[in-house]
Structure 1
Amino acid sequence: MSNPNLQALTDAGVSIWLDDLSRDRLETGNLKELIEDKCVVGVTSNPSIFQAALSKGDRYNADLTALTKAGKSAEEIVFELTTSDVRDACDLFMPVFDRTSGIDGRVSIEVDPRLAHDTDRTNEEAKKLFEAVDRPNVYIKIPATEAGLPAIAATLAEGISVNVTLIFSLDRYRGVMNAFLEGLERAHQAGKDLSTITSVASFFVSRVDTEVDKRLDAIGTDEAKALRGKAGLANARLAYEAFEEVFSTPRWKSLEAEGARVQRPLWASTGVKDPAYPDTLYVTELVAPGVVNTMPEQTLEAVADHGDVHGDTVTGTYAESREVLDALDRLGISYTDVVELLEREGVDKFDKAWDQLGDGVKGEMAKAEA
């Protein structure tokens, strides 16, 4: 039996994805249980998630030893281990993929974050990952940096489905949607079947509140305190407004007539960082038709336990959301400064996690060689 709160969320048009992947989840049957009981229809991963997975337990030890003895480098081993886990997860989600005609049942794997500012190498890495996983339901994650936008278009043009990650600003989100449309147009010109190319755009939520609230606390006035915890939701809701606008244009309609599917907004960073806020805040207050919400397991369990799903909480909030951003601007909090900082920090965080992942593998390699 599916959990009633999570089923209500699904019925409201939200696809529930888990923001975590590990060999432990795969081999213990935990992920299968989440699919069956918690309405989970997809998975996202990133360098931080893989670094955490490889640092715990011993489920990777045999492969690490074998690959080390085969003379593989640390980077080759990371590639082998991560693509193997994603391939196995893709197989697990294949029934969901088939049941939803390829909309859900998706598993994401990220390009090397050190390439975030290199268009050509990002595109090459995306193709390499796609070929290695070799499953139709894999999403290749590409960050929405300035260099990432043309790589997104180029990857989609090759017929590879993409999860665009690290989106913080409304302007950049519009750039992402433009790259999506451009990629589909190029794919169509090349004779590719547009119905097989899909994408999600991962718009980050809680990190916006973390940064904005810190600045509001520094101001400390009653007006500032009243705006705490509102920026993340306002930003995401305005992103949905942009989504509705772009996917009602003649440019999109012509692609849709050729079989193309919309690039769905995906709410990422939905775990609540401030204990003063409800732990389901970035789920129940971002319900809208045709979105994805990728949740850490703690958030998923919170929604299952006490999430109050009360219909669409996005459509019709746009004027109120604009007023939140305007009020922040009046207090001297620069939206541009906040989102640019968050993008830099997001790339840096994944860079560091990638380095830690490599260091951890090197440590295990040393044990295998001893």
Structure 2
Amino acid sequence: MSTPTQDLSAAGVSIWLDDLSRQRITTGNLQELIDSHDVVGVTTNPSIFQAAISAGIGYEEAIAAQASAGASTDDTIFALTTTDVRDACDIFRPIYDATAGVDGRVSIEVSPDLAHDTAATIAEAKKLFATVDRANVLIKIPATQAGLPAITEVIAAGISVNVTLIFSLERYAEVIDAYLAGLERAHGGDFDLSSIHSVASFFVSRVDTEVDKRLTAIGTDEALALKSKAGLANARLAYELFEQKFGEKRAQDLVALGANVQRPLWASTGVKDPALPDTLYVTELVAPGTVNTMPEKTLAATRDHGVITGDTITGNYADAHAVFDDLAAIGVDLVDVTQLLEDEGVEKFIASWHDLQGTVTAALTGAPESQR
């Protein structure tokens, strides 16, 4: 008997864990999830590192060493996070090798303070890539207006990228174009296109949270019947767009030169509404060539009782379009929803980053005098 996570993998979905900490690495927990839950990658973000480092477990000696060296708060954060990602990359290297670079990936994000600064994002992305110094690292760049040209520039430099905080189909189309433009420049610069990989992280549950709030405020039977449908519809239409864009001549010409398609990645897949099935954003978003990055709770639920029935995306395009039409008809402005979510997403990561700075500052100044 296969397990649900094995079934999910067999259906073409790469399972990545949306969490990382030094404790996971040193205790063997990460390797255990690889072995037992079919995990083939990891994503991180400022909130994840804030939670891990604030817990303190496993970081005491490293922070004391940074204090002793007189390191600044930001330099300490950079050292701690890049070390964790490097060590995780080493754990995943066999999977990276076995999948020709498709999986075995670990993501690390540029500082969210730089989300609206193209040049600074490019500089930090290159610095992160050089510091981690592992072929299987993915540099996360947010899909803000300032992030789009940074994506092109970083891909053009031969660096693999995880584009994050995508909420709208319109922005997703721009992300794909930015990736293709980067590949075209990389080809002109004599990079091996087959070595450059990318995923586009489309956020799911947050869309339902915001849309459902608006549907509840409208309060009609028609509105309430649409609750918890927008997130899946949005993601399914993103996959339709992925198929369309990478089927066009521009993308196919690059693929013929050895380039990889930019895989859709389903993020924010933890269910926020307790009335919904806890595996909803996993079992209903199955299609070949996708990634689902899950918090551990969702991963455990999927492994325990997820029911994988095959492709649940490509046969549902018409229904997804109908959901969008129905939402528009009752006055839900999806353009406004997705822009709000992008703005809030950046703000939340900035807040987490600043919390992390405060935690590390306190730890540095609180290190014993003999270690400073």
TM-score band by shorter chain is over 0.9
Q: Distance in 2 between matches of 1:233 and 1:3?
A: 26
Q: Distance in 2 between matches of 1:46 and 1:115?
A: 14
Q: Distance in 2 between matches of 1:188 and 1:95?
A: 28
Aligned: 1:21 with 2:20: yes
Query: Mapping of 1:163-178 within 5 angstroms?
Result: 163-178=162-177
Q: Distance in 2 between matches of 1:3 and 1:358?
A: 44
1:16 aligned counterpart, secondary structure: strand
Residue in 2 that maps onto 1:144: 143
Query: Mapping of 1:169-248 within 5 angstroms?
Result: 169-248=168-247
Q: Distance in 1 between matches of 2:259 and 2:337?
A: 34
Q: Is the 8 A contact 1:234 1:325 kept in 2?
A: yes
Q: Is the 8 A contact 1:159 1:192 kept in 2?
A: yes
Q: Is the 8 A contact 1:3 1:38 kept in 2?
A: no
Q: Distance in 2 between matches of 1:57 and 1:149?
A: 35
Q: Is the 8 A contact 1:3 1:37 kept in 2?
A: no
Aligned: 1:321 with 2:320: yes
Q: Distance in 1 between matches of 2:140 and 2:2?
A: 29
Q: Please, what TM-score do these two structures have when normalized by structure 2? A: 0.98
Residue in 2 that maps onto 1:12: 11
Aligned: 1:118 with 2:117: yes
2:213 aligned counterpart, secondary structure: helix
Q: Is the 8 A contact 2:286 2:312 kept in 1?
A: yes
Q: Distance in 2 between matches of 1:95 and 1:169?
A: 35
Aligned: 1:300 with 2:299: yes
The code of the aligned residue for 1:251 comes to: R
Q: Is the 8 A contact 1:7 1:39 kept in 2?
A: yes
The 1:273–1:344 alpha-carbon spacing in structure 2 relative to 1, beyond 3 Å, is: same
Q: Distance in 2 between matches of 1:335 and 1:33?
A: 40
The code of the aligned residue for 1:250 comes to: K
Q: Distance in 2 between matches of 1:303 and 1:3?
A: 13
1:261 aligned counterpart, secondary structure: coil
1:54 aligned counterpart, secondary structure: helix
The code of the aligned residue for 1:20 comes to: D
Q: Distance in 2 between matches of 1:219 and 1:279?
A: 26
* Cα deviations by residue, 1:183-206 (Å, 9 ceiling, x for unpaired): 000000000000000000000000
Q: Distance in 1 between matches of 2:119 and 2:361?
A: 28
Identical residues among aligned pairs (%): 64
Q: Distance in 2 between matches of 1:98 and 1:322?
A: 39
Q: Is the 8 A contact 2:198 2:261 kept in 1?
A: yes
Aligned residues: 369
Query: Mapping of 1:128-139 within 5 angstroms?
Result: 128-139=127-138
Residue in 2 that maps onto 1:64: 63
Aligned: 1:41 with 2:6: no
Give me the CA root mean square deviation: 0.9
Deviates more, 1:168-177 or 1:216-225: 216-225
Deviant stretches of 4+, over 3 Å? none
Q: Is the 8 A contact 1:270 1:295 kept in 2?
A: yes
Q: Please, what TM-score do these two structures have when normalized by structure 1? A: 0.99
Q: Is the 8 A contact 1:3 1:304 kept in 2?
A: no
Q: Distance in 2 between matches of 1:184 and 1:312?
A: 29
Q: Is the 8 A contact 2:23 2:57 kept in 1?
A: no
The code of the aligned residue for 1:120 comes to: A
1:182 aligned counterpart, secondary structure: helix
Q: Distance in 2 between matches of 1:145 and 1:366?
A: 35
* Cα deviations by residue, 1:145-170 (Å, 9 ceiling, x for unpaired): 00000000000000000000000000
Where do 5+ consecutive residues of structure 1 fail to align? none
Q: Is the 8 A contact 2:50 2:352 kept in 1?
A: yes
Q: Distance in 1 between matches of 2:2 and 2:293?
A: 17
Q: Is the 8 A contact 2:266 2:292 kept in 1?
A: yes
Where do 5+ consecutive residues of structure 2 fail to align? none
